[in-house]
Amino acid sequence: MTTSYDADVVVIGSGALGSNAAYELAKQGRSVILLEAGSRIPRWKILENFRTSSRKANFNDPYPNEPWAHTSYDPEYLENTGSFNFRPGMLKLVGGTTWHWAAACWRYLPNDMKLKTLYGVGRDWPIDYDTLEPYYQRAEEALGVAGNGDEDQSGQGGKAWPPRSQPYPLPPDATTYMNQQLVKRLAPEGFHYIHEPNGRVTRPYDGRPACCGNNNCMPVCPIGAMYSGDMHATHAENAGAKLITEATAYKLEKGAGNKIVAVHYRKPDGSDVRLTARYFVVAAHGLETPKLLLMSDVANSSDQVGRNLMDHTGIGLLMIGDEPLWPGRGAVQQGGIFNWRDGDFRKQHSAVKHSMSNAVPNRTITERLLKQGVIGPELDEGIRHDAARWIDVGTVFEMLPSPTNRVTPSDKKDALGIPMLRVNYDVDDYVKAGKEVAKKDYARFAKIFNAQIVEDESGWQNRDHIMGSVIMGSDPKDSVVNGDCRTHDHDNLFLATTGVIPASGVINPTLTGVALSIRIADTINKEI
């Protein structure tokens, strides 16, 4: 008997990962339905919301926060029970959170994927760098990554690394005066300042204009030079995929042979819809994906769904240097210091990455001076002086997976009666040891720039890099998906989320997530 399906593949979540998977499937002729809990909002509307808002520091504020699709800054959305207030800046709309990311597109190093073997801590990936390399290239082409392929991104000042089969799709942006001066003063002290590969195009590419340095990437690129996931949601539609918005998936239905046979979603009016498919891809980011699996009682024979949550939890340094550097011209990030990215030290403490923000600092500086009672012409002069010399260092640490760092469905319900999120999250001694290394670097930075310290005890900070919550591994007893991102328990259920990443390193995980998602599409295309 022939079985009739609503689609070959249902993809749940229209962020960068889900939309790239949907596009790769649709352009191969597969029938694809792409579900999105949030709405579709035009760029001009988000930009208008930002320009008219008095809450410029809240990067979620210009975006919709619906009773059935909350942003993560809604206090009702995410309940914390651990020692750390885990609250990454996640969005729910077509295109997802890449609407307001910094667009850093680093690759993992081969050693990052062999952490347990080389350094005796954490976990190894079940696949190696060579397996993922062709998909890194395709992901970079999809996102329009501009980068410098001649640098040693391990931070050791050696040959170009990691290995690449082809150059970056686009040349790097011109080095700003600020970054020229940072390199000039940091390099003699042994710090390797490396250009950041970035999903912000340096010439017209895939219908996008070249970046003109609005310095407004977070919360929204006004012209669409920076990549956002809605671009591939549109590509998927143009290739034949069907996009359904305001559709919150709340149940995956199991059938014969332990296959997933349907997804159930709820609309804002409370009505329910059941969709069937041959394959299902859950791409609902690293918090909502495990929540959906746990609510559905699927893929959890290992009891690892929702556990091992990681987020590059970091700290920050603010200081005023001794010469004008003029931050705020060009992209909000252009580089970082990677001296502590890889080495035997990882047996004792976490890897460390320092990034130098290039965002316009005037709002922060003005608020600080006003709190000091500075007003009138003195305030104007103070803003001009401090803004030119402002140095904002953001540091991230390599996390290790811990089963007690965990996301679960909350007892609280949204407007549709669907559970919201509960997170238990603590920072472990491996990261705390890395912090001691970072603080020694902070003291050296301050000395190099003869700086006045504004803040060097920021406390732990969110970094919005969700990993580990549906962890990848070769053993079904201690992991959720295998090296293909296929769940161990259901051979037609794949997870397209950075939540599969088992060893976090110190790099932003989105490019890797897109690479894995394209690979998922290739696997499904071979099997259908």
Percent of the chain with pLDDT over 90: 98
Contact at 8 Å (CB) between 169 and 126?
no
Q: In what order do the strands lie in the sheet with 406-413?
A: 78-80, 419-424, 406-413
Query: Which residues are CB-contacts of 329 (< 8 A; sequence separation ≥ 6)?
Result: 176, 177, 178, 213, 215, 358
Of 481, 476, 87, 506, the closest CA to residue 337 belongs to 506
- At residue 231, the pLDDT reads 98
Of 333, 318, 313, the closest CA to residue 396 belongs to 313
Return d(Cα 379, Cα 361) in angstroms, integer: 15
Identify the structural domains of the chain with CATH numbers, from first to last.
7-357+389-527 (3.50.50.60)
DSSP assignment of 233-258: HHHHHHTTPEEE-S-EEEEEEE-GGG
Residues forming a β-bridge with 194: 336
Contact at 8 Å (CB) between 98 and 114?
no
One-letter amino acid for residue 134 of the chain:
P
pLDDT band at 331 (very low <50, low <70, confident <90, very high): confident
Contact at 8 Å (CB) between 228 and 16?
yes
Of 268, 270, 301, 296, the closest CA to residue 284 belongs to 296
State the catalytic residues.
465
pLDDT in tens, 118-156: 999 999 999 999 999 999 999 999 999 999 999 999 999
- At residue 143, the pLDDT reads 98
Quick one: how far is CA 383 from the chain centroid? 32
Grouping H, G, I as helix, E, B as strand and the rest as coil, residue 321 is coil
Of 106, 307, 314, the closest CA to residue 194 belongs to 106
Grouping H, G, I as helix, E, B as strand and the rest as coil, residue 504 is coil
CB atoms within 10 A of CB 457: 10
Q: Is pLDDT of 1 > 70? A: no
pLDDT band at 330 (very low <50, low <70, confident <90, very high): confident
